[in-house]
């Protein structure tokens, strides 16, 4: 292959968009690749919560679903919860009560849904367009009611007024008449005044709101309304159950409406007990199911499936661009991968991505830069994974000293002492350590396997984790003698450089309380 053609291939990898929201809807629809049966589950009419860490493709999945349902004749309302109201101001203002902040959040969310519905009503034809507009007016009234909270003072005044004078009354008819009158008149006036002192507050009435939404759904028939709420975890955690409760009481019970919510599992709170009842959504009951992209993207022992997914992902993005740059572009994903990567390099890139599409795209772009006018080699992938870790992932811990210290202790133990990168933690034990969740959210720890059973203690379950590939590689490339392998020069190009992802409870179980006792 000529240098010019290879440069085009590498440039196509470097130009893949990193974020779904920066890409137009048509491109998102054509580049989407479903992992396993995820697409079929996503397209179901059940209410669902879609979990996944940053970069796993939640936004891409919702926008793809929006395109699918619109083409099927339904109506999709996509709401990015980061952009409604004043998420960074009013909602986070601790000087205001949770009820005040929560009510404003409900009103702002309903307003965003109403605006999207209004756009759909103007652009499309529905079975009952007049009924839809009336229902939307009712929806506005139900979601923007205002009451004044404070003291109310009533005042009534009575007054009299006298006046005297004379008058002349004339009338013209067949028999002319006239009357002169004189005397006094008394007028009694009553004045009533109602004075309120207080502040106006929004209130949301679940009953009228639910009836308005039923009227909206009825007027749209036979089209179905899909409400897609993205970036749920961007909302303050204490307000999330309030919005969830609004959905449970007024939206989820309405026939003809489906709700999908994208959230980060360990940064979301959908349910809180409230006496004998509860506030929010009970996952598995009110919302039919919760789907985890993290679980779907754990390919574990099925590496062929992982390579097929990421190969198609790269080709869907790079193929259309190459069609404008080459006379004979690669015909399919296999042909593209054959031109872009040397033997073993693509499999290593899939492993380095740890099941996160955004990391795979960034590592591929950096590897293409390292390769320049050559196909991407194993060494390019490992150097790119190191660069991505040092430039992006490690910086996420710059202001989080506890998480940074936890990672350091795990690396010292797992990589330094055990010469591995995988380990297991007791499920109940690590739940008490927030720093493990923070490292998982930052994609510095990766959950590879859930519910590992200890044969000696069947009642105890473990989860299998791995130190981030880029973190491990950076230690081997730039670390001290304690963490380097002996043949450092040969390792970078060796297929056996990174230890396999396996679990043995006798060798890799970590006693987290003992490891972290110095942090207390």
- The predicted pLDDT at position 83 comes to 85
Residues 6 or more apart whose Cβ sits within 8 Å of residue 61: 32, 38, 42, 50, 262, 293
- The predicted pLDDT at position 290 comes to 73
Question: Would you list the domain boundaries of the chain?
Answer: 3-13+297-394, 36-145+206-296, 148-200, 399-519
- The predicted pLDDT at position 193 comes to 60
CB-based contact 104:91 (threshold 8 Å): yes
| Tally of CA atoms within 13 A in the half-sphere of 350 that contains its CB | 24
- The predicted pLDDT at position 394 comes to 86
- The predicted pLDDT at position 147 comes to 44
In tens digits, the chain (520 residues) has pLDDT values of 678 899 999 999 999 887 766 666 677 777 777 766 777 788 888 899 999 888 888 888 899 899 889 989 999 999 999 888 654 555 556 667 777 777 788 888 888 888 888 888 888 888 788 888 888 888 888 876 544 444 545 555 555 555 555 554 444 444 555 554 555 555 555 555 655 554 445 566 678 888 989 999 999 989 999 999 999 998 888 889 888 888 888 889 999 999 999 999 888 889 888 777 888 888 877 776 677 887 777 655 456 778 888 999 999 999 888 998 888 899 999 999 999 999 989 999 998 998 889 999 999 999 999 998 899 999 999 999 999 999 888 888 888 899 999 999 998 888 888 777 888 898 888 888 889 989 998 899 988 888 888 777 778 888 888 899 998 888 877 654 444 443 333 434 445 555 555 566 656 788 888 888 866 5
Distance CA 425, CA 447 (A): 10
- Lookup result for tokens 């203690």: 457
Element (H, E) at 193: strand 177-203
Q: What is the DSSP string of 142-183?
A: HHSEEEEEEEEEEEEEEEEEEEEEEEEEEE-SSS-EEEEEEE
Listed residue (163, 117, 123, 156) closest to 137, CA to CA: 117
What tokens were used for 13? Answer: 């990898």
Residue positions counted in the chain? 520
Distance CA 133, CA 119 (A): 11
**Architecture per CATH, 36-145+206-296:** 3-Layer(aba) Sandwich (3.40)
- The predicted pLDDT at position 427 comes to 87
Q: What is the DSSP string of 371-390?
A: HTTS-B-HHHHHHHHHHHII
Residues 6 or more apart whose Cβ sits within 8 Å of residue 105: 84, 85, 91, 235, 239, 242, 243
| Residue 374: Cβ-neighbour burial (10 angstroms; 0-12, 13-18, 19+) | middle
- Bridge partners (DSSP) of residue 362 are none
């Amino acid at each position: 292959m000529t240098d010019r053609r290879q440069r085009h291939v590498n440039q196509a990898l470097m130009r893949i968009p990193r974020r779904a929201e920066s890409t137009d809807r048509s491109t998102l629809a054509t580049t989407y690749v479903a992992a396993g049966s995820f697409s079929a589950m996503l397209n179901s009419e059940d209410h669902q919560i879609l979990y996944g860490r940053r970069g796993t493709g939640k936004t891409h999945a919702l926008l793809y679903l929006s395109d699918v349902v619109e083409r099927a004749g339904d109506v999709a309302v996509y709401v990015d919860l980061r952009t409604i109201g004043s998420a960074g101001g009013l909602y986070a203002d601790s000087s205001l009560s949770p009820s005040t902040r929560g009510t404003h959040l409900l009103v702002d969310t309903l307003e965003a849904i109403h605006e999207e519905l209004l756009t759909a009503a103007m652009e499309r034809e529905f079975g009952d367009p007049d009924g839809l507009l009336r229902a939307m007016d009712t929806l506005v009234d139900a979601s923007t009611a205002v009451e004044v909270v404070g003291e109310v003072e009533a005042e009534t005044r009575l007054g009299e007024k006298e006046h005297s004078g004379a008058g002349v009354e004339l009338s013209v008819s067949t028999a002319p008449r006239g009357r002169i009158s004189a005397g006094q008149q008394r007028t009694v006036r009553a004045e009533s005044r109602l004075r309120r002192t207080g502040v106006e507050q929004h209130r949301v009435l679940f009953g009228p709101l639910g009836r308005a939404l039923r009227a909206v759904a009825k007027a749209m028939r036979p089209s179905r309304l899909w409400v897609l709420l993205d970036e749920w975890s961007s909302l303050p955690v204490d307000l999330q159950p309030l919005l969830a409760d609004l959905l449970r009481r007024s939206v989820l019970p309405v026939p003809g409406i489906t709700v999908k919510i994208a959230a980060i599992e360990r940064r979301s709170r959908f349910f809180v007990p409230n006496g004998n009842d509860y506030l929010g959504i009970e996952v598995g009951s009110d919302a039919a199911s919760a789907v985890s992209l993290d679980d779907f993207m754990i390919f574990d022992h099925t590496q062929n499936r992982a390579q097929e997914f990421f190969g198609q992902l790269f080709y869907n993005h790079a193929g259309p661009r190459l069609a404008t740059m080459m006379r004979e572009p690669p015909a399919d994903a296999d042909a593209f991968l054959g031109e872009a990567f040397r033997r073993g390099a693509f499999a290593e890139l899939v492993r380095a991505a740890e099941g996160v599409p955004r990391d795979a795209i960034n590592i591929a772009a950096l590897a293409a830069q390292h390769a320049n006018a050559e196909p991407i080699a194993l060494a390019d992938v490992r150097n790119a994974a190191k660069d991505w870790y040092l430039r992006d992932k490690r910086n996420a811990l710059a202001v989080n000293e506890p998480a940074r210290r936890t990672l350091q202790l795990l690396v010292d133990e797992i990589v330094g002492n055990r010469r591995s990168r995988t380990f297991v933690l007791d499920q109940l034990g690590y739940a008490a350590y927030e720093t493990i969740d923070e490292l998982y959210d930052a994609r510095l720890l990766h959950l590879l396997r859930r519910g590992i059973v200890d044969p000696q203690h069947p009642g105890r379950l473990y989860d299998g984790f791995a130190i981030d590939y880029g973190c491990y590689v950076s230690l081997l490339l730039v670390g001290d003698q304690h963490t380097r392998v002996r043949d450092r020069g040969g390792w970078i190009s060796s297929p056996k450089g990174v230890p396999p992802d396996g679990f043995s409870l006798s060798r890799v179980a970590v006693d987290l309380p003992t490891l972290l006792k110095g942090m207390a």
